[in-house]
Amino acid sequence: MEKGGFYELEYREHGLGIAITAIFLAGEMAGTGVLSLPHALKDTSFYGLMLITLFTVNTMYVGSRLGLCWVMMEERYEKFRGQVRDPYPSIGEVAIGKIGRHVSSICIACTLYGGGCVIIVLISEMLRDLFIQLGKTTETNLCLSLCVWMVIVVAILIPITWLGTPNDFWPIAVGALVTTVVACTIICVMVIIEDAKCAVSEPSFPTPEDPMGFFKAFGTIMFAFSGASTFPTIQADMRDRTKFPISTTVALSILFILYISMAACGYFILGDQATPNIIDSLCEGPMKVTVQITILLHLFSALPILINAPNQYFENILSIPKNFNIKRCLWRTFSFSCLLFIAETIPNFGSILDLVGASTVTMLTFVFPPLFYMRLCDMSKENPKWIPRDIKIYERIYCYFLITLGVVGGGLATYNAMKNIISDFKVAPCYISTDSCTPHIDTSNDTTIFLF
């Protein structure tokens, strides 16, 4: 076994099993994106459900292909048979060279760190709302600004981010998935029972007419699958990495049930009254508070998993040892503090979510996996000692379809998101605002933004 050097490997006697890996994948992916699915259908109607189904099937396939990519690398190169901190960029480098490593690394960092910023804001907003409600009940002043809440949230989460790899905090993944399932179930039940009685007007179900609305939904729905970029990192902690496609199939099946249920219940009952965050469409009361608490638990659980992959990548570049040490703690504290600064500087995350989902998520989920997979399979002919990997013509056509869908659909969706950002991004950093408690609602671009 080669040790040290560019990839820095280590032996592991124990690893994740198939079931825990599936829970990790589902818990890490089923995050903030599921809350926006009903609103995404506003621009697509019934076709949005078809889009969710298509994305689920495609993600299930590319997840299994990413797993096979890593299996091929282990078969061919001894240095990949231990633990690797940056598996996705390593796949890209072996498949198409240094450019594959650099581009995939940039996309992963933008996707996961960007998602981390969003989670910081969402946690802070929910805590602010809960404490305001608690203050009304107890007749006390418990109102803090969003900026203050973000500092508190980051201070709580930083010690959790010091944990090493997914294998070190698998119970967190279980909590992330359980809380999401509970929250989605309660939301669907509440929406069905309340039947939009808390809506400001009678719901309508307009036929989508604006083609660009479809591409906006493309980015929003795609963001719900943003966790696919962490697949190789989680696979690297498995005992038997050849079983990863099984875990992928199980995880995406769970997500499909959650996503379809949330999207259908939310849109076909609330219609155009479905808010960007479906929780805001629920009637006030104990059940809504329960949903907020369970989502908060999920966000607290999912964030350390979400940013673990880019953390490991940069620690590899900085030559930070893999064992628990002060350098890791300092680096992760610094990187998380940078996310806090970004979150407080750019409070308009609706368009940012669309941009990330349309661009980097699409590249990591639809474009790179089939491209790397085909290249690695074709490379099997270069060495007679390697196991032959032939791709059937229909599978190769499907891979090219995914790449085309990612480039064309993602490109148009990225253009739409950029246009919205340029035209609607007029929100000042939250720490400049003097209003400490009253939310300001910016209805431009159908995105709710809170300034404090």
Q: Which residue range is the domain that position 269 belongs to? A: 18-446
- Cα gap 267→434, rounded to integer Å: 36
What's the pLDDT at 348? 57
- Cα gap 165→158, rounded to integer Å: 15
3-state secondary structure 338-356: HHHHHHHHCCCCHHHHHHH
CATH number reported for the structural domain that contains residue 39 in this entry = 1.20.1740.10
Of 374, 246, 406, 233, nearest to 304 by C-alpha is 233
Residue with tokens 């474009």: 367
Asked whether 88 and 232 are in contact (CB, 8 A), the reply is yes
Number of domains in the chain: 1
Asked whether 1 and 81 are in contact (CB, 8 A), the reply is yes
Domain presence at residue 1: no
Q: Could you count the other beta carbons within 10 Å of the beta carbon of residue 397?
A: 11
What's the pLDDT at 347? 58
Q: What's the chain's length in residues?
A: 452
Of 107, 26, 35, 44, nearest to 349 by C-alpha is 35
Domain presence at residue 317: yes
What's the pLDDT at 427? 57
The helix (H) or strand (E) run that includes residue 254 is: helix 244-270
- The DSSP symbol for 226 reads G
Q: Could you count the other beta carbons within 10 Å of the beta carbon of residue 211?
A: 10
Domain presence at residue 7: no
Is the CA virtual torsion 21, 24, 27, 32 positive or negative?
A: negative
Domain presence at residue 82: yes
- Cα gap 402→254, rounded to integer Å: 22
List average pLDDT for each run of 10 residues in the chain, which is 452 residues long: 37 67 80 80 81 90 89 87 79 93 88 82 84 73 78 88 65 74 86 70 69 73 77 80 87 90 85 79 82 84 75 81 85 89 70 75 90 94 88 94 90 80 61 53 37 28
Of 57, 131, 88, nearest to 308 by C-alpha is 88
Domain presence at residue 9: no
Q: How many CA atoms lie within 13 A of 261 on its CB side?
A: 20
Domain presence at residue 10: no
- Cα gap 376→102, rounded to integer Å: 18
Q: Rounded to an integer, what is the distance from CA 285 to the centroid of its chain? A: 29
pTM of the model: 0.77
